[in-house]
Structure 1
Amino acid sequence: MSNAYLSISRVGMSFTRGGTTSEVLRGIDLDVQRGEFVSLIGHSGCGKSTVLNIVAGLLQPSIGGVIVDGREVGAPGPDRALVFQNHSLLPWLTVYQNVALAVDKVFRGKLGAGERRDWVLQNLEMVNMRHALQRLPSEISGGMKQRVGIARALAMKPKVLLLDEPFGALDALTRAHLQDEVMRIQAERRNTVMMITHDVDEAVLLSDRIVMMTNGPAATIGQVLDVQLPRPRERIALAGNADYNRCRQEVLSFLYEKQRKVEPLRGAPADLAQRSAALRA
């Protein structure tokens, strides 16, 4: 039995539509330690979001399972907070109310009203959004909305923070600022984080490990890279760092070179032998 804080064990996922079954994931095995920051990267359609949704409890795997802190995941719960690429704020609630809604749901009966209010303010302060408590989502920028979404997730005190391309819709400068914020927060609170990204530099900058997924169908984990860069990390200083560039090159090599070699072998089982013979000729 794994001693990992988050354990994904032999997870497979298939979807059936119109009598046709498609295997999306096969044999996903991954252990994540408490306080670790892990990124999932791969080409579009390789099942990264499916993995994240299974950990979140939004999808039930066809085979295998997920254990968080010794308990099997069977449904969504506040121990796993999910931040989407879209901030998903309720547009009729203020910044404060959006975070307070989650805090009240999780901690009502455990914390008094004053304690809950202080906790909401503390989390908004952490993402530098205390100045905008009474603003509606329509009155703040995209980057600010995403800060509030992160504050709402952190305020639930989740055991695992799940990030689904949280910076993908932002401009480059805002994206960089939020990456720095997430690194700072993770260093302070030691959250266990699993993040999906398509950005190689983002993965290397933020992660302790990068999980590289093969192309679908039947996608699986192709390679796991340890990012042994000291923390705290400064993006400008890392630009000329040999270890940073080695990690970056290794991920790029997997995504572009190795996947191009595998791609010709994909197809119906009946023609795999012919394709393999052609490659050897």
Structure 2
Amino acid sequence: MIMSQPYLSISRVDMDFSRGGVTNPVLRDVNLDVQRGEYISLIGHSGCGKSTVLNIVAGLLRATSGGVIVDGREVNSPGPDRALVFQNHSLLPWLTVYQNVEIAVQKIFKGKRSAAEQRDWILHNLDMVSMSHALDRLPAEISGGMKQRVGIARALAMEPKVLLLDEPFGALDALTRAHLQDEVMRIQSELQNTVMMITHDVDEAVLLSDRIVMMTNGPSATIGQVLDIDLPRPRDRLALADDPRYTHYRHEVLSFLYEKQRKVEPIANARARGAAGTREAAALRA
């Protein structure tokens, strides 16, 4: 069987952070190949390096060793081929909904598309996230879910090769989150984007993903397991609730996370006991 060349490749990535002469190992030997059009979710306990991985792919951080290749080109800096959507919408508060998307489109397509073509493209992307009715509103005049829609529209308008989502639904209420998840599934099905998303939500990961990448606990975190999600698309959350495959995948992820938590708790308890003993000894000396 001939395997296609990965569209996104993370190869032998290590990451250390140093401050005050102390070096902290964050990531060790992270390797992942992603095919074009795949939806990948990164999940793991807080502090496992998920955001660090995403920021290295985005070009916001340089790995201590190893590297990232997107569509045959090495990632050395941020670029329009990788659009990042944060948990915080990051809209410019003095610009309208339309202008927040326009600023990205003008930057990317200046000299490549006419003003009319750029306007049509902006309107197309805002329509895709159901925000055409709020073109002239400022961010302060729309809800949190609507702000995230505009952030996603801005990212999609850049026509990125890889869409990076850093807990894009984490700050939203349950109903808004579910609706926006459905919108992202619809858009990804239509555009066949390559997506890498960070999440702490197991159900979200199973619902949206083709594969779930489970990270071990830090320090020196790495990929502990990759789970293939073999569920037909389009996916209906209500139908999947009674699907034994969905339940199985959910159980696999929860089991992995629970086992990692069980391993880290004795270490944390031992550190707490050690710290308490140190404080007690200092008190006695005093």
TM range (shorter): over 0.9
1:28-74 CA distance string (max 9 Å, x none): 00000000000000000100000000000000000000000000000
Report runs of 4+ in structure 1 exceeding 3 Å deviation: 261-268
- Structure 2 residue aligned with 1:217: 219
Cα distance in 1 for residues equivalent to 2:105 and 2:20: 42
Contact 2:58 2:84 in 1 (8 A): yes
Q: Report how far residue 8 of structure 1 moved.
A: 0.2
Cα distance in 2 for residues equivalent to 1:264 and 1:170: 33
Which one-letter code corresponds to 1:208 in the other structure?
Answer: D
- Quote the RMSD (CA, aligned, Å): 1.5
Gaps of 5+ in 1: 269-281
- Structure 1 residue aligned with 2:68: 66
Contact 1:129 1:144 in 2 (8 A): yes
Q: Report how far residue 261 of structure 1 moved.
A: 3.4
Cα distance in 2 for residues equivalent to 1:241 and 1:261: 31
Which one-letter code corresponds to 1:57 in the other structure?
Answer: G
Q: Report how far residue 259 of structure 1 moved.
A: 3.8
Describe how 1:112-151 pairs up with structure 2 within 5 A. Answer: 112-151=114-153
Cα distance in 2 for residues equivalent to 1:35 and 1:120: 23
1:131-179 CA distance string (max 9 Å, x none): 0000000000000000000000000000000000000000000000000
Contact 2:217 2:260 in 1 (8 A): no
Which one-letter code corresponds to 2:107 in the other structure?
Answer: K
Provide closer, same or farther for how the CA distance between residues 149 and 237 of structure 1 changes in structure 2, counting only shifts above 3 A: same
Q: Which residue among 226, 233, 238 is the counterpart of 1:236?
A: 238
SS in 2 for 1:144: helix
Provide closer, same or farther for how the CA distance between residues 165 and 71 of structure 1 changes in structure 2, counting only shifts above 3 A: same
Question: What's the TM-score once normalised by structure 2's chain length?
Answer: 0.91
Instruction: Give the % identical residues.
Output: 79
Contact 1:160 1:193 in 2 (8 A): yes
Q: Report how far residue 262 of structure 1 moved.
A: 5.9
Contact 1:127 1:148 in 2 (8 A): yes
Describe how 1:1-281 pairs up with structure 2 within 5 A. Answer: 3-261=5-263, 264=266
Q: Report how far residue 263 of structure 1 moved.
A: 5.5
SS in 2 for 1:195: strand
Contact 2:216 2:260 in 1 (8 A): no
SS in 1 for 2:214: strand
Contact 2:212 2:226 in 1 (8 A): yes
Contact 1:214 1:259 in 2 (8 A): no
What is the number of residues matched between the two proteins?
268
Q: Report how far residue 260 of structure 1 moved.
A: 1.3
Cα distance in 2 for residues equivalent to 1:12 and 1:209: 22
Gaps of 5+ in 2: 272-286
